[in-house]
């Protein structure tokens, strides 16, 4: 499960983790949750939509949406397609289902976790399922569904499903939650709040922190001290020094927020470089995958 504040690079990290797994010869499924689909396009493949589709050898993508998940899940629960069609394709019922809180989350999570435990010829269908989960608040809503159901729903098929889903979500041998953040104030604050919620409410095994888009410390302190006055020089030196000064300031701020995230979160951490690329695509994802492979999440020294 990969989550974090909106705009921090969850999809990029999810895609890079998938690329790494596929490189290792694993069969991977990446699920997006009712999103404007990004993973397949990031990998240079056409969007998958609601059908699982191979983006590159061994790497499959899927965009899980409520209507499709509802249909699959409904047919599974009711066993008979005819009953599902008679009841659920009823216009009134469809309207009604839209307003049951958490039902959309339930069926989407159900679809994903069903894939995660499904088997083919006695073997797991997927070696790894990576979920590019929604942004913080919505991810918590999604992951909270099974436990909320266990609190409120009496025995029945729904409760049975909630039970196996919750068991799978809480099993550290099978599930891991990764938080993605940027070395900036709001994303780091949100990562800290999210982590606290995961620990106190969700109980999903916390596994890693990815600090994305970290500018490198490119200049020494002595050089930095010179940049301020050099920035006032005429071109070409002045503009080059001005750019360098902005870079140095950003790198310094980023270091502070990285330190704050590390101190507050106590999670195995990988720091990903800020890539100087104008367009995000397969090449950039490969580079992020390389960076993760070179320094996989490690506990703080």
Binding site for another protein (CB under 8 A): 5-8, 36, 74, 77-78, 83, 87, 90-96, 98-103, 134-135, 138, 141, 149, 152-154, 156-159, 184-187, 189, 218-219, 223, 226, 229-230, 233, 235-237, 239-244, 246-247, 249, 253, 276, 278-279
Residues 182 and 299: their CA atoms lie apart, in Å, by 18
Closest CB 169 distance from another protein, rounded Å? 18
> What is the DSSP code (8-state) at residue 63?
E
Shorter beta-carbon distance to another protein: residue 234 or 301? 234
Closest CB 86 distance from another protein, rounded Å? 8
Shorter beta-carbon distance to another protein: residue 57 or 235? 235
Asked if residues 142 and 109 have their Cβ atoms less than 8 Å apart, the reply is yes
188, 106, 183: which is closest to 147 by C-alpha?
A: 106
Shorter beta-carbon distance to another protein: residue 239 or 296? 239
Shorter beta-carbon distance to another protein: residue 141 or 147? 141
* Residues 6+ positions from 33 with CB-CB distance below 8 Å: 64, 108, 112, 131, 132, 133, 134, 142
Closest CB 268 distance from another protein, rounded Å? 25
Shorter beta-carbon distance to another protein: residue 21 or 33? 33
For residue 25, how many other CB atoms are within 10 A of its CB? 9
CA distances from 147 to 106, 119, 203 (A): 11, 25, 10
Closest CB 88 distance from another protein, rounded Å? 8
249, 242, 239, 187: which is closest to 215 by C-alpha?
A: 249
Asked if residues 182 and 9 have their Cβ atoms less than 8 Å apart, the reply is yes
Closest CB 30 distance from another protein, rounded Å? 18
């Amino acid at each position: 499960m990969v989550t974090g504040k909106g705009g921090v690079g969850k999809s990029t990290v999810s895609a890079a983790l998938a690329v790494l797994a596929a490189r290792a010869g694993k069969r991977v499924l990446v699920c997006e949750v009712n999103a404007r689909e990004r993973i397949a396009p990031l990998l240079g493949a056409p969007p998958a939509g609601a059908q699982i589709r191979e983006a590159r050898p061994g790497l499959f993508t899927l965009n899980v949406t409520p209507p499709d998940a509802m249909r699959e899940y409904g047919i599974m629960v009711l066993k008979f397609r005819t009953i599902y069609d008679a009841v659920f394709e009823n216009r009134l019922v469809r309207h009604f289902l839209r307003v049951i809180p958490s039902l959309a989350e339930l069926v989407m999570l159900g679809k994903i976790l069903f894939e995660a435990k499904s088997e083919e010829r006695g073997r797991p269908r997927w070696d790894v399922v990576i979920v590019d989960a929604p942004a913080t608040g919505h991810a918590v809503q999604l992951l909270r569904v099974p436990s909320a159901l266990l609190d409120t729903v009496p025995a029945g098929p729904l409760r049975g499903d909630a039970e196996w889903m919750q068991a799978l979500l809480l099993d550290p041998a099978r599930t891991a939650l990764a938080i993605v953040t940027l070395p900036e104030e709001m994303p780091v604050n949100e990562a800290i709040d999210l982590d606290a919620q995961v620990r106190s409410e969700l109980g999903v095994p916390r596994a890693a922190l990815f600090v994305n888009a970290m500018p490198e410390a490119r200049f020494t302190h002595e050089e930095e001290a010179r940049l301020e006055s050099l920035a006032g020089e005429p071109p070409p030196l002045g503009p080059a020094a001005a750019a360098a000064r902005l870079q140095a300031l950003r790198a310094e701020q980023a270091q502070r927020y990285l330190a704050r995230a590390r101190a507050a979160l106590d999670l195995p951490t990988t720091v990903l470089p800020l890539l100087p690329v104008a367009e995000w695509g397969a090449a950039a994802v490969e580079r992020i995958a390389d960076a993760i492979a070179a320094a996989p999440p490690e506990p703080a020294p």
